[in-house]
Structure 1
Amino acid sequence: MIEKRAAQRHRVFKGGTITFENGGIACIVRNVSEGGAAIDLDAPVTLPQSFTLAIARDNLVRNCRPVWRSDRRVGLAFVQ
């Protein structure tokens, strides 16, 4: 299989929080790279076009947008 990602993703299993205008949702971060991440949600949720992902353990806060979805897993792109 040919790798098409611009940056290598690293597998992780860390608690995170996505926050947006009307609230926040806990998530599990499954992998992360310089350009994005994949998260798992407890239930299928409609997400806004942009939000913030925070991983307190790593002191990481990034603005994101969803780029793909598969059931409860969501692929995120970090935005400036």
Structure 2
Amino acid sequence: MDEKRKHPRTEVNEPAYVSSGGSVMHCTIVNISQEGAAIDIENPAFVPDRFRLVMANDSSEVYECRVIWTKKNRLGLSFVT
């Protein structure tokens, strides 16, 4: 498969939260780069197209995200600048 990303992703296993409209859901970041990430989440059907990704270990680290793809319980995200 051809790599289409501009920046390589780093494999991680970091707890985080999907935050949107007062709702918060736990997730796990499985990889991350300057321009996006992939997360595992229990029920991706409840994740809106755009949301904030908040790092559990540092709540001041927040990313505005847009969902690019979904495969089972994994979401591919693009960071919105």
TM-score with structure 2 setting the length: 0.88
Aligned to 2:78: 77
Deviation by residue 1:42-63 (Cα, 9 ceiling, x = unmatched): 2342321210001132552100
* Distance in 2 between residues matched to 1:53 and 1:65, nearest whole Å: 10
Instruction: Please list every run of 5 or more consecutive structure 2 residues that lacks an aligned counterpart in the other structure.
Output: none
| 1:44-59 equivalence runs, <5 A | 44-58=44-58, 59=60
Cα RMSD after superposing both structures: 1.5
Partner of 1:61: 62
Q: Which blocks of at least 5 consecutive residues in structure 1 are unaligned?
A: none
Matched-pair identity in % = 36
Shift of 1:24: 1.0
2:57 partner letter: R
Number of residues paired by the alignment?
80
- For normalisation by structure 1, the TM-score amounts to 0.89
